[in-house]
Structure 1
Amino acid sequence: MSPIALADIVKAYDVRGLVPEQLDARVATALGSAFAQVVVIPEGEDGVVIGHDMRDSSPELARSFAAGVAAHGVDITMIGLCSTDILYYASGVEQRAGAMFTASHNPAGYNGIKLCRRGARPVGQDSGLTEIRDLAQWLLDRGSMHDLPTSERTGSVAETDMLAGYAAYLHSLVRLDDIRPLRVVVDAGNGMAGLTVPVVLGMDGLPITVEPLYFELDGTFPHHEANPLEPENLRDLQAAVREHGADLGLAFDGDADRCFVVDERGEPVSPSAVTALVAAREITRAVQAGADPSDVAVVHNTICSRAVPETIQEHGARAVRSRVGHSFVKAQMAEHEAVFGGEHSAHYYFKDFWFADTGMLAAMHLLAALGEQDDPLSQLVAAYDRYVASGELNSRVPDVAAATERVREWAAAQGASDERLDGLSMVHEDPYWSFSLRPSNTEPLLRLNVEAQDRAVMEQVRDSVLTLVRQER
C-alpha cells in the first residue's frame, strides 16, 4: 500500500485531493477519527452533521468519515445530498460540528472535506486543521484503520433532510413574495444548485420564473466545469439570458456556496458590485431594526473594489478590511459583529447565517433589490460599479519575494502608498489606481488584481506590474 501524504491534500481551509490516489475511504476514516479527537470531544460538541455533494465518491467517503467519528462515541446526523450552505445551516440550527464532502469547483476527479465547529464556525489551518492532519497522518502510518482508538460506545447514526428547513429559513430573512415578476436563468453546472434552486426559488406563489440550465446532478460535469470564476463557464448562461429575454442570470459552483451574476444583457456583474449592493441592504436593515449606523460593520477583503468601502461609509457604517479567505473573513466578522461580508471570489457571508457564506442568500437579496424597483439590473448595479478592474492575473515566477520587491519599489517611486495586509497592496490617489499582488499558498505564483479610475490607467498599471513580475533575473 503506497504511503499517503496528507500534507499534499490538507489545504489552508479544507481538504482537496484526487480520488482514490490521495483521498479514499481509509483516509476519510482517519480524518474522521482525528476530527473527533481534536475538535468534537475536547470542545464538548454535541455530535456531528455530515453532508455530501453529487460526486460519485462522496457517499462512500462521507460514510467512512462518519465511521471514524462514531468510533469515539460521537453521534452522527447524516443529511445526505446538500449544498455546503445547507451543511452550515444544519450546523447552525442543530448546534453541532459539521463535515461537508465536496471538492467545490474542482474537476470531476477530485473530492474533499470542509469542516466546521457548531454554529458553522470554521476549522482551518490555524484553528485545528493542522492538528487534525497530523493526527490522521499518524493513524494512517500505523497501517490499519481497524485499530482506531475507540470509546466503549459507538456513536449512533441518524438520517434527516434539511432542505425544506433551509429554504424556509432563507425566506424568513429575505422576502420575495411581493416583488415584481422576474425571469431568471440559473446555471447549476450539474452541481448542488440543481437540488436547492427548485425548492428555494421555485416555491409556490413566488413571482419568479426559473429557466434551468444543467440541473441534473452529475459529478462528471458533462457540460462545463462548475467554476463560474472562469469566463468560459459563463458563456452558456449568457447566451440563455439573451435567448429568454431574462432579467438576470445566476451561476453556482459545484457545492453551490458561491453565486455569480450576469445582467439582462448577459454581461457579468462584478462580485464587488454585488457585495456593495447587499452591504447597503444589510446596513439599512440593521438601522431599521434600531441600530446606530456607526455601530454597524461590514467586512470586505483586500481585493474588493474601492466602491465597496465607499458604499459602506456612505451608509454611515464601518468598513473592515480582511485578508482573502473565509477563515479570515469569518474571524473579522465575529470580532466586529459584522452584519455582512463579501469577497471578490463571490463568497458572501451573513451574520444571520452564523457568519457563514451562502451564495443563495446573496442571490435572494439581489432578486429582492431588482424586484422592488423597475430599472434593469445593469442600471441598478451601475451605482456600485465605479472603477475598472483587471481581473485576477497569475504569473509563475522563480523568486516570488524578488518579484514582489521589484514591484513595490516601482509603485513607491510613482507615489503609491503601501497597505500591506495580504501580500503587497499599493494605492495611488491621483489618478486613482491600486493593486494587490499576493503569493499563492501552494504554487510559485503571484496573483495580480489591478483597479483604476478608468481603463487606460488600469491597463498602464497592469502592464507595468506584469512586466516587472515576469522579468527574469
Structure 2
Amino acid sequence: MFPKPEPVLKPNTYAYESRPMVKPTGFREYDARWLYEKEINLMGVQALGMGIGTLVHAMGQRPEIVVGHDFRSYSAAIKVALVSGLMAAGMKVHDIGLVTSPMAYFAQFDLDVPCVAMVTASHNDNGWTGVKMGANRPLTFGPDEMTRLKEIVLNAAFELREGGAYRFVQDFPERYIADLTSRPKIKNKLKVVAACGNGTAGAFAPRILEALGCEVVPLDCELDHTFPKYNPNPEDMKMLHAIRDAVLEHKADVGLGFDGDGDRCGVVDDEGEEIFADKVGVMLARDLSALHPNATFVVDVKSTGLFATDPVLIANKVKADYWKTGHSYMKRRVNETGALVGFEKSGHYFFNEPIGRGYDDGLVSAIAIIDMLDRNPGKKMSDLRKALPKTWGSPTMSPHCADEAKYGIVDQVVAHFEKASSEGALVAGQKIRDLVTVNGVRVTAEDGTWGLVRASSNKPELVVVVESPVSEARMREMFAAVDGVLRAHPEVGEYNQTI
C-alpha cells in the first residue's frame, strides 16, 4: 500500500526521501500548484499521478492521458514522477515532451486522447510547480473534480491497476505549428514584437508569427528557467514596459507578450500604450461581432464594463455574460453557452469554433489580433484603442494573503458590501448601484465606477481591480474605498503592484 501523504516533511531526512509530502492547500479551485520541495516532493507528485488515474477511472473515462511539461529546471523530473503514478493507476500515457499548455490541449484532439495533465506553474515565480488537468476535452478540472482529487490523494485512496503504458510522441510541437500555420498568410505586412519573458513560448511564438507573414522582432525568446528579467506574465507591468520600449524602438505595429506556459497573450499598441487584455477583448468582440452578429461573449468579473455598454457591441446585438474568473470556469461557461469567445482580464481567451477549439491559447489569441488588424487596413492598433469609449482602469493588483485565510477574508468583504448596499451606505462617495457576487464581490457605484475583490485561485493572494467610466480620480477613489475595507483585516499584506 502506498503511504498516506504528509502535509510537511523536513528536507534532507530519511522521511523526506521515503514518504510522500503534499501540502493540502496546493489543490486549488481548478488546478494544482505547490512550492516544489517545500510543499510537495517527488513521491508526493507520484501520489498525485495515482490520484488522477484513480479519478479518471471513477469518472468512467477512457484511461489515456496526454502529459507535457514546461521549461523549468525541475519540470521534467516532476513529469517523470507524475507519469510513474499515472501508470501505476492503469493509465496509458502519451508524453509530448517540452511544450506549452495549449499544445497539450491540442494534443487531446490531435491524438484523440480524452485526458490531459500538463506540468506547469504558468507565470508563477521560480520554485513553483503545478499541474493543469482535465478528463473531458476541451474542459479542465473545476472545483468538484479538484475536491475529489484532493480527497483521493490525501487519504491515499488509490486504486492501482494493471495496464499502465507509456508512449513518447516525438516532435509533437511540429504538429501544433502546422495546425496554426496551414492557412493563408496575412495580406498586409505587420511588424510584431514577440515577447516571451524567457518562458516556454519563446521556442515557438516567433516561428509561428513569421509563418503567418509577420516581420517578427523577438524579445526575451531565449529559454531561461531563471527568468532573469521578469516573470513571463503579460499582466506584470515590468513585462509590459519592456514590450512598450521594444515597440517604440523598432517602430512595430503591435507588441504581443506570452506568459510562461503560452496560454495567455498581452498587447502593446504601436504608440507604446499597454492595453489591458479586457480592452483588447472589446476590440476583438467589435471585430468578430461584425462577422457574427448576435454573438455571446463570456467575460470574467475582473473585466471592463464596456462589454455591456459599448455602443458598437449593442448595435451588433451582442450578449455579454459576466462569469467567474479562472480558466476552468471560463472554459466551461463558453462550452455550455456556445459563446463565440470567452475573455478574461488576465489574458486567457477561449475561442470556440470556427476560430478555436474552446481552450485558452495565447498564440490563437495573437493570431486573432493579427487577423483583426489585417481586416482593418489603414487602421493601427492605437486607432482601434482610441475608438473605444474611454474608461480608466487598474492593472490586476494582488495583496498577499495566506491560502488558509484568503477565502474567509473575501467572505467578510462580500458581507461588508452586502450590508452597505442593504443600508444605502455610500461607497466611494456614492450609493451602490449593483453587486455581483458570483466570484468574490464586484461593487458598482451610481456613476458606473466599480471595484472587485476576490481570492486568487492559484497563489496566496487576493485580487483587486478597479475601473471608472468617469475619471482617473474616481477610479482612485474606488481603490481607496476597497483598500480601506481590506486594511481592516491584518491578514492582508502588501500589494505586488498598485495604481
Q: How many angstroms apart in 2 are the aligned matches of 1:402 and 1:137?
A: 29
**Partner of residue 364, structure 2:** 361
Shift of 1:152: 3.2
Aligned residues: 453
What is the CA distance between 1:159 and its match in structure 2?
Answer: 2.1
**Which of 442-451 and 374-383 deviates more?**
442-451
* CA shift for structure 1 position 178: 3.1
CA drift of 1:5 comes to 3.6
Deviations 1:6-45 (A, max 9, x none): 3131211211112223233212211111111112563222
Helix, strand or coil: the match of 1:257? coil
What is the DSSP-based 3-state SS (H/G/I as helix, E as strand, rest coil) of the residue aligned with 1:332? Answer: helix
For residues 123-170 of structure 1, the C-alpha deviation after alignment (integer angstroms, 9 at most, x for no partner) is 1222x1222222222339xxxxxxx75333332423233323223333
1:426 counterpart residue number: 443
Mark the CA change 1:385 to 1:199 in structure 2 (over 3 Å): closer, same or farther: farther
**Pairing 1:178–2:183 present:** no
Distance 1:316 1:450 in 2: 24
Q: Is the contact made by 1:407 and 1:469 (CA closer than 8 Å) also made in structure 2?
A: no
Would the alpha carbon gap of residues 32 and 351 (structure 1) be closer, same or farther in structure 2, given more than 3 Å must change? Answer: same
Shift of 1:77: 0.9
Residue 139 of structure 2 contacts residue 332 of structure 2 at CA under 8 Å; is this kept in 1? Answer: no
Selected match of 2:95 from 53, 57, 78? 78
Corresponding residue for residue 430 of structure 2: 414
Q: Tell me, which stretches of 5 or more residues in structure 2 are unaligned?
A: 1-14, 491-499
Query: Matches of 1:448 and 1:201 in 2, distance apart?
Result: 32
Aligned 8 A contact 1:91 1:119 in 2: yes
Distance 1:17 1:344 in 2: 24
Question: 1:404: how far off?
Answer: 4.7
**Which one-letter code corresponds to 1:183 in the other structure?**
K
Query: Shift of residue 338 of structure 1?
Result: 0.8
1:273 maps to amino acid: K
The SS at the match of 1:27 is helix
Q: Is the 8 A contact 2:22 2:41 kept in 1?
A: no
Asked if 1 retains the 8 angstrom alpha-carbon contact of 2:33 and 2:128, the reply is yes
Using the alignment, how far apart are the partners of 2:174 and 2:77 within structure 1? 25
Quick one: structure 1 residues 41 and 404, their matched pair in 2 at CA, closer, same or farther if it must change by over 3 Å?
closer
Match of 2:218 among 188, 206, 212: 212
Q: What TM-score comes out, normalization by structure 2 length? A: 0.83
Query: How do 1:169-248 and structure 2 match up within 5 A?
Result: 169-171=179-181, 177-203=185-211, 206-248=212-254
Change (3 A) 1:390 1:38: same
Distance of 2:108 and 2:281 partners within structure 1: 25
1:52-201 matched pairs, under 5 angstroms: 52-93=69-110, 94-126=112-144, 128-139=145-156, 149-171=159-181, 177-201=185-209
- Name the residue aligned to 1:377: 381
| Structure 1 residues 385 and 188: alpha-carbon distance in aligned structure 2, compared to 1, 3 A threshold | farther
Which residue in 2 is equivalent to 1:250? Answer: 256
Aligned-partner SS, 1:356:
coil
Q: Which runs of 5+ in 1 are unaligned?
A: 141-147, 288-292
RMSD: 2.6
Stretch moving more, 89-98 or 331-340: 89-98
Shift of 1:378: 0.9
Structure 1 residue 401, shift from structure 2 partner: 4.9
In structure 1, what is the equivalent of residue 350 of structure 2? 349
CA shift digits 1:288-311 (9 cap, x unpaired): xxxxx34x3110011211112335
Shift of 1:236: 2.2
**Alignment CA distance shift 1:38-1:215 (3 Å):** same
What TM-score results when the alignment is normalised by the length of structure 1?
A: 0.88
Pair 136,182 (structure 1): closer, same or farther in 2 beyond 3 Å: same
Please give the secondary structure, in 1, of the residue aligned with 2:204. Answer: helix
CA contact (8 A) 2:194 2:206 kept: no
